[in-house]
Structure 1
Amino acid sequence: MVRKQPLLVVLLLILLGGTTVGALNYTAGNEDSVTRILGYDVYKIEGSGNYIIYYPLPNGSVKVLKKGKAGSFFPTFVKVPRHEWIKELSTDEKALYAPPTPLILYITKDGKLGVKSITSSRIKLESEKTLNLKGDYQVQAKGSCPRGWIDFGGRYCLNPQWDLYFDSRAKAKTFDEWVSVMGLKIENWATEKVDFDWHLVLSKSTYSYWTVGIDVGPFTVLSVSKGHHFEGWALDVYYKTNGPVPIYSRTWERYLSIRVEYIVAHAKVPAYDKLTKRYVDIGIVQTYPIKIHSTGDYNIKELGEGWRFEKSAGQNPPKITKTPNIWSISREAEWKRKWIGNTGNWEEAVFIKQLQANSLSSKSSLSIPIGYAAGNYLTGISPTLGKLASALSLTFGFHKYMNAVSIAVYDVDIKPRKNCYSMYSVLGVNVGTERIKVNVPVVFSIITDGGSSSPPCNPRTGVCVESTSPRER
């Protein structure tokens, strides 16, 4: 019996150890939120391939929290320095703020690259909407990779130490600037009169989304991934005309801007392009709104030649301007157009109403372009990041949270002076595990007769061309 005792102890330890690992794996299987144990986030990373988990910090650095291979039997423990952002954001200012979530960048064995926000303990790499590095049949390339590089059988080969390059080259920067949320431009006396109602409510039921742009040669892939809901003080802006407003000038513009603070994180993954036989960098940029400085309750009346704040109570009141405070309308945006005949009657030009839902959809989301400072920053680093700057926007989701309310209403009616078109844009983004593409509205509309070169698209044909002007890209 004495000889058997050590064996029984070993068997008991194995049993207890297996039970503990099983319990941890069960805990890490949480698909709704992140499980935390003794200050560590517990993740169960499923699928195949290599990954890195990283986190942008307020000082401009990007901290790599974990590197590894997916599919391990054991759960992964990660210390996320959220306290640095919470300390930075939770001041005495009456603002809305949403601490950033960690990000995971991964490359699967079957040649897919993806970036997503981590909001739950269970992470499924293989099920995410990813960029296929193999490309399609049009961009397949024959040839071999440099010795030791990872060949996915398509156009690109990756440096086997891509994660080390990411670690040393990833950076982040925070921008705090006035950014236009909604806008209207009427060209060439296209209308006699305009009547509009814009209503924007941001609250705790507004969620901040990571918007990710990945540039691979001739195309850009955009995706969004849910972050944190905003906390703090709400913003309620109601801007409308004081009765029908006559249009006397050739070009008439109005833009509603709020003060927004947001993160821009960027990195490059070294690759080899077998089609061009050149070493290239796959550029990756992520944006995330972290703070809305404009909060309070405002009623604003448009008088035709100006505007008046009839109710103004809060911090950093919104601004009404005749020029937009943006870097560009995304060059990836699709412009929706509607032909309006000159019947002498009032016509609805654009109507968009965004309400709360359980998930991101075309009816529960809103996107605004990044500001000029961020666009100028990325463009100054490299042409690749400049291209991504002209594709990105800041994305918000309106989701049900307690008794809070978030909405966006954009209603424009016109009395045409001539036959014309109304146009507004939507940004097509890939959404997380649902493998769907959502058209998120970007509410900057143009009313035009097509006789001007300033619209980004030909209203008659719908064909869009790139412009050299940042504001029109």
Structure 2
Amino acid sequence: MSRRKFLVRVLLLIFLSGNMVNALNYLASNEDSITRILGYDVYKIEGSGNYTIYYPLPNGSIKVLKRGKAGGIFPVFVKVPREEWVGKLSTSGEALYAPPTPLILYITPDGKLGVKSITASRIRLENEEDLNLKDLNLKGSYQAQSSCPNGWIDFGGRYCLSPNWDFHFESNAKTKTFDEWITITGLKIENNVAEEVYFAWDLSLSSSTYSYWTIGIDVGPFTVLSVSKGHKFEGQALYISYQSKGPLVVDSDTWERYLSIRVEYIIVHSKVPAYDKLAREYVWIEIAQTYPVKIHSTGEYTIRESSTRGIYFTESNGNNPPRITTTPNIWSLPKEAEWKRTWISNTGDWEDAIYIKQSQSYSFSSTSSLSIPIGYAGGRYLSSISPTLGRLASALSLTFGFYKYMNVASYAKYSVDIKPRRDCYAMYSILNVKVGESGPKVEVPLVFGVITDGKTPTPPCNPETNLCITTTNKIKET
């Protein structure tokens, strides 16, 4: 009799345990948000491969939250110390702030290395259509004849990885926060190609603006560049309207205007050891990520510029008013940027030169996103660590997405009209990034316009670093 009771209890326990696992897996299959139980995030990590979940902290350290192998029966419970960022960022309501999301670095058995932001409980590592970024194929098309060092992971292609890649990543991982004025948009007219110019720039950032992780993976001759959705901004909104009051005379060989706001952002960087079978040498694969966490410029500002009065504020109500300068306050325009151009014939009349409008959508797209270059301090920091991170510094940017959310508005508008003095090009820069839900690459504008005859094609450069990007082999017609 006692044995029968024992068997009944065992069967009941198995039944209840099975139901519990099914219930937890159901909760962890949330694709829209993160399920939390007793203060823990619940993740269901699907696919195959090894992963490391980590989180940047305000003190400059990286906290590894979980290591594991995808595809397990049980969901994963992770404690994310978000309160450290929330406490730091929300001390004053007079700002927009977006706490960083956790990140997952993974390597699949077929040689794909990727990083993505964790914004939902269901995480897939293998199906590229479902990834929030373009991962790096360590296998590639090259089939090496040489072998990997003893014990290293061989994907059958060019690269091998150390079996302890996740521990190397953790020991090298660092994060740093920067608070500086950064140019968000600008215009440069070269070689006196225009007689007059009229422009109107508007920017509205609110709680319908999302902060995105911009991720760069350096593999020598090229950079894999991706974005991954982060957190929406909270706090006080920012609205700026800057435009010329009537036509402005272009009275110099190089005429420039730049609009800057005060932004706080973080840079996370680390590296994993690899062996290059083609070069037959040990290398490091550098990984760097940027994320805007706070916008200190808030409130409403109406700025006008006239030929007689110069630049003046007609309305200035808020904190850290935007700055108008004649030189850009950036590290450099990303080296991965391309330039779209339009030919403008000298008809003797006014011509539409550049018009860009980014507005709210239900997904990340070329018309609902905006990137700005990282600041000088961030670029100098990465460059001081290693030449490889210096190359990544010249590729990274800070990315925002505009989403439909309640009754608030986020958008950016950039309009430039000119009266040409002779035939010229009107150009603006874009950054090609990959997001999973959009399939192919998305062309995210970096709103830096250049009006030029092409004789000296030099888009905005940082006067302190002399870093810039040329349009050689980068120009394509709109």
TM-score (ref. length: structure 2): 0.95
* Structure 2 residue corresponding to 1:227, chosen from 220, 230, 242: 230
Alignment check: 8 A CA contact 2:458 2:468 kept: no
- In the TM superposition, residue 472 of structure 1 has moved relative to its aligned partner by 3.9
Residues 123-142 of structure 1: CA deviation (Å, up to 9, x unaligned): 01112231111123xx4432
Alignment of 1:30-109 (within 5 A): 30-109=30-109
Of the three residues 131, 136, 149, the one matched with 2:136 is: 131
**Aligned residue number for residue 198 of structure 1:** 201
Aligned to 1:285: 288
Q: Give the one of 146, 165, 169 matched to 1:162.
A: 165
How far did residue 456 of structure 1 move?
Answer: 8.1
Answer yes or no: is 1:389 the counterpart of 2:386: no
- Give the whole-Å Cα distance in 2 for the aligned partners of 1:140 and 1:294: 52
CA distance in 1 between counterparts of 2:307 and 2:389 reads: 40
Deviations 1:378-401 (A, max 9, x none): 000001100000000000000011
Are residue 298 (structure 1) and residue 295 (structure 2) matched?
Answer: no
Cα distance in structure 1, aligned partners of 2:285 and 2:188: 36
Question: How much does 1:436 deviate?
Answer: 2.6
| 1:195–1:412 contact (8 Å) kept in structure 2 | yes
Counterpart residue identity of residue 466, structure 2: S
Match of 1:141 among 141, 144, 149: 144
Indicate the residue corresponding to 2:466 in structure 1.
469
Q: Which moved more, 1:95-104 or 1:85-94?
A: 85-94
- The residue number in structure 2 matching 1:447 is 451
Q: Aligned residue for 1:257?
A: 260
- Counterpart CA distance in 1 for 2:438 and 2:299 is 35
State the one-letter code of the partner of 1:86.
V
User: Quick check: 425-434 or 277-286, which moved more?
Assistant: 425-434
**Shift in Å at residue 285 of structure 1?**
0.3
Question: Is contact 1:116-1:432 (8 Å) kept?
Answer: no
* Contact 2:336/2:432 (<8 A) preserved: yes
Provide the aligned length of Structure 1 versus Structure 2: 461
Distance in 1 of aligned mates of 2:468 and 2:91: 34
Q: 2:365 aligns with which of 352, 361, 364?
A: 361
| Cα distance in structure 2, aligned partners of 1:389 and 1:120 | 29
Distance of 2:230 and 2:215 partners within structure 1: 12
Say which SS state the counterpart of residue 368 (structure 1) adopts.
strand
SS in 2 for 1:436: coil
In 2, distance between residues paired with 1:377 and 1:432?
Answer: 30
Q: Which deviations, in whole Å up to 9, do the C-alpha atoms of 1:416-438 show, x marking residues without a partner? A: 00111111111000103543310
User: Does the Cα contact within 8 Å between 1:332 and 1:391 map onto a contact in 2?
Assistant: yes
Choose from 308, 320, 341 the match for 1:316. 320
Q: Distance in 2 between matches of 1:421 and 1:331?
A: 21
Aligned-pair Cα RMSD in Å: 1.3
Structure 1 residue 2 displacement after superposition: 2.7
The answer to whether 1:438 aligns with 2:442 is yes
Query: Could you say if the C-alpha distance between residues 2 and 269 of structure 1 is closer, same or farther in structure 2, counting changes exceeding 3 Å?
Result: same
- The AA in structure 1 aligned to 2:39 is G
Instruction: Give the superposition deviation at 1:411.
Output: 0.3
Q: How does 1:365-380 map to 2 (within 5 A)?
A: 365-380=369-384
SS at match of 2:441: strand
Look up the match of 1:25: 25
Q: Distance in 1 between matches of 2:265 and 2:144?
A: 39
1:400 aligns with 2:404: yes
The CA deviation at 1:93 is 4.4
Shift of 1:320: 0.3
Shift of 1:10: 0.5
Q: Does 1:349 align with 2:346?
A: no
Counterpart mapping for 1:205-220 below 5 A: 205-220=208-223
Distance in 2 separating the partners of 1:432 and 1:286: 17
Q: 2:424 aligned with 1:420, yes or no?
A: yes
Contact 1:45–1:71 at 8 Å: present in 2 too? yes
State the Cα distance separating 1:454 from its structure 2 match: 2.3
Q: Does 1:340 align with 2:337?
A: no
Identify unmatched segments of 5+ residues in structure 2: 471-478
CA deviations on 1:53-77 (whole Å, 9 max, x unpaired) are 0000000001000000000010000
Q: Secondary structure at the match of 2:2?
A: coil
Question: Which of 152, 157, 176 lines up with 2:155 in the alignment?
Answer: 152
Query: Are the aligned partners of 2:48 and 2:70 in contact in 1 as well (CA < 8 Å)?
Result: yes
Greater CA deviation, 90-99 or 198-207? 90-99
Which residue number in structure 2 is paired with residue 465 of structure 1?
Answer: none
Q: For residues 100-129 of structure 1, what are the alpha-carbon distances to aligned partners after superposition, in whole Å with 9 as ceiling and x for unaligned? A: 000000000011011000000000111223
User: Deviations 1:117-174 (Å, cap 9, x if unpaired)?
Assistant: 00000001112231111123xx443210101000111111000100000111000000
Q: Retained in 2: the 8 A contact 1:21–1:74? A: yes
Q: Distance in 2 between matches of 1:213 and 1:438?
A: 15
- The percentage of aligned residue pairs carrying the same residue is 69
- Any idea what the Cα deviations from partners look like across 1:21-50, whole Å, max 9, x if unmatched? 100000000000000000000000000010
2:122 alignment partner AA: R
Q: 1:174 aligns with which of 177, 183, 200?
A: 177
Contact 1:150–1:157 under 8 Å retained in 2: yes
AA aligned opposite 1:145: C
Gap change, CA 1:301 and 1:456, over 3 Å in 2:
closer
The farther-off stretch of 107-116 and 87-96 is 87-96
Q: Which amino acid aligns with 2:348?
A: G
* TM-score computed with the length of structure 1 as normaliser: 0.96
Deviates more, 1:165-174 or 1:85-94: 85-94
Contact 1:247/1:304 (<8 A) preserved: no
